[in-house]
Structure 1
């Protein structure tokens, strides 16, 4: 493995985002609410709008994109809140620090955009993801929601909000940050 670099896609790189997103959906369908079949049919305008509404960060190994994560805005009137979502790393590089670099870049992006908190929804039954997020510094909360895009196999599963405080007081997480209307 060469040096992994992380960069934010520009709004004109919608085709690059489309390619990595479809790769992620095809390789790890159980990890996402959408399916590759659904998203393959979306047109250029859809993909352009998607790239413009959230920051899309990609991990590159030389010329190859090997991972992706997104940072979106879930702010309320009271708080600037970001949401980390869509984390995926190609299987051959899992467990080698790529996800860590992507999440760190997402945290850095959220801090640059003056968010006070970063929320990451994780499946309560996904022990590996919960352990990863916890080791990074995300804290579990009592906030739960049904798994997005649940199939018959996952219809009874929940996701929990994990929070990463970005402000001066890491203990201060107001309940409005976890308001379900912003999930």
Structure 2
């Protein structure tokens, strides 16, 4: 099952986010040591800024993905959402959890009236590029360096992959 989290679920969100950073630190532009120190207000703020979805079984949380609005150097990109922070627990990989999470994010974006969603993927991560392509995302000419929240560049590059949510199949002109 996939469900959206609300502010009251901040501890659940904190738990799965820290689990993701512990298990796959290289997959995120964040540091476990910093996020462990964030207080309740910070986690609630994150839940207000974007929609966080979890996949769960009756026993455990299996994965996480986030949906926010796309931004570029000029601010929010009209009509475009951004899917980010995808993580699936190792024992649930290959079971369709990531697909269900991405579909939930795309469906919410469609319900919110967005025309496209972006998904930034490391250019050297062939599995992620193939996964996104299989979900209907298409590569764009947009690239950016991977950075930590403090702005430190990591040396890798990401590509924006875009999924049209309606009749407008053209990629957005800014990201």
Do they fold alike, i.e. is TM over 0.5? yes
1:113-152: CA deviation from partner (whole Å, max 9, x where unpaired): 11111010000000000000001000011110001229xx
Please list, as runs of the form range in 1=range in 2, the aligned pairs for 1:17-166 lying within 5 A after superposition: 17-74=13-70, 79-149=78-148, 155-166=154-165
Q: Structure 1: 5+ residue runs without aligned partners? A: 179-183
Paired positions, count:
169
Q: Please give the alpha-carbon distance, in whole angstroms, between the structure 1 residues aligned to 2:13 and 2:77.
A: 32
The answer as to whether partners of 1:26 and 1:35 remain within 8 angstroms in 2 is no
SS of the residue 1:168 aligns to: coil
SS in 2 for 1:146: strand
Structure 2, gaps ≥5 residues long: none
In 2, the alpha carbon distance for the partners of 1:20 and 1:174 equals 32
How far residue 77 of structure 1 moved from its aligned partner, in angstroms, is: 7.1
User: Post-superposition, which runs of at least 4 consecutive aligned residues in structure 1 deviate over 4 A?
Assistant: 75-78
Q: Distance in 1 between matches of 2:51 and 2:76?
A: 21
CA distance in 2, matches of 1:156, 1:40: 25
Query: 1:109 offset after TM fit, Å?
Result: 0.8
After TM superposition, give the deviation of residue 169 of structure 1 in Å. 2.4
Give me the TM-score of the superposition, normalised by structure 1. Answer: 0.87
CA distance in 1, matches of 2:65, 2:44: 17
